[in-house]
Amino acid sequence: MKAGDRPGGVVVADFRRAMAAPDREARVAAEVVRLDAAAARGDAAAVVLPADRDAAAAARIAGMPLVHIAVHVARESGAPATLHTRSGNITDFLALAPAAGVRIVFHLNGEEAAMRWERHDAAPGRRIAAAARLAREGWAVSVRAGAVRLFRGWKDDYADLAQMSAAAGLAVETAYFPGEHVMEPATDSGEGLTPVVADDGLRFLPTARQRREVAVVFAAGGGKPAPRRFEVQPSGCLKGGREGHGEA
């Protein structure tokens, strides 16, 4: 099993990381080869799309838009494919008919959090508008909040995000903290001991109480009760090291 793949026949192709690497052309080409192999084996795929600023270059290296490659893999393999994105550009999706077995996961953040830690990604409002448009076009769409940052005023920031999402007909289903897995909901419920670095430089652990507070903000839809299940990933998923507010 290659690094990054998951047990159970799920191939993870992370084009976001590939485009950030010094040898990005080789990394992107290798990820495309792995996706082609996944299609041949009938494996499910999880694809992390690059930042907007890298999308055109990634498509040039791959020979076609990465969205088209991922959808092709799902159609050829007959297995599910999940595409993870922070983009507001959905042109490549709109050029295709909605594909069975393909789910698009938009990763959202609050306005202030995005301005401080996601400067190379689309603004949250653009991501929400893109997700809502694809849902209307018939694509399977999910939205997740993360990486959640516990800065001063975070509750208001994420309450606003929840309200914006609810107004667009979208329900934020999962939240995660810096360094946690973003591919799929966690299954364990243990409390981890890996520290997260706050924006003021102090070390802290996301406690069970803090996780419940985050869940309350989103489960209420920013003040509008929603009849659905919401989960915050347990800190047992945190990777080792002081990842702090780096990319999740």
- The pair of three-digit structure tokens given for residue 177, joined into one six-digit string: 């903290």
Domains in the chain and their CATH numbers?
Answer: 10-237 (3.20.20)
Confidence of residue 177 (pLDDT cuts 50, 70, 90): confident
pLDDT of residue 200: 45
Give 125's contacts (C-beta < 8 A, 6+ positions apart): 111, 164
Phi–psi pair at 102, nearest 5 degrees = -105, 125
In the predicted model, what is the mean pLDDT of residues 139-167?
A: 91
Q: Per-residue confidence at 203, pLDDT binned at 50, 70, 90? A: very low
Give the amino acid at 134.
L
pLDDT band for position 81 (cuts 50, 70, 90): very high
pLDDT value at residue 172: 86
Q: Is the dihedral of CA 176, 181, 184, 190 positive or negative?
A: negative
Instruction: Tell me how far apart the alpha carbons of residues 213 and 191 are, in angstroms, rounded to a whole number.
Output: 16
Task: Give me the phi and psi of 48, to 5 degrees please.
Answer: -95, 115
Please list the residues that pair with 106 across neighbouring strands.
Answer: 85, 143
The pLDDT, as a whole number, for residue 211 is 81
- φ, ψ dihedrals at 9, nearest 5°: 80, 30
Is pLDDT larger for residue 163 or for residue 244? Answer: 163
pLDDT classification of 71: cutoffs 50, 70, 90: very high
Q: Looking at the predicted structure, is the pLDDT value of residue 107 above 90?
A: yes
How many angstroms separate the CA atoms of 186 and 165, rounded? 23
Tell me what the pLDDT averaged over the chain comes to: 79
Residue 66 DSSP symbol: H
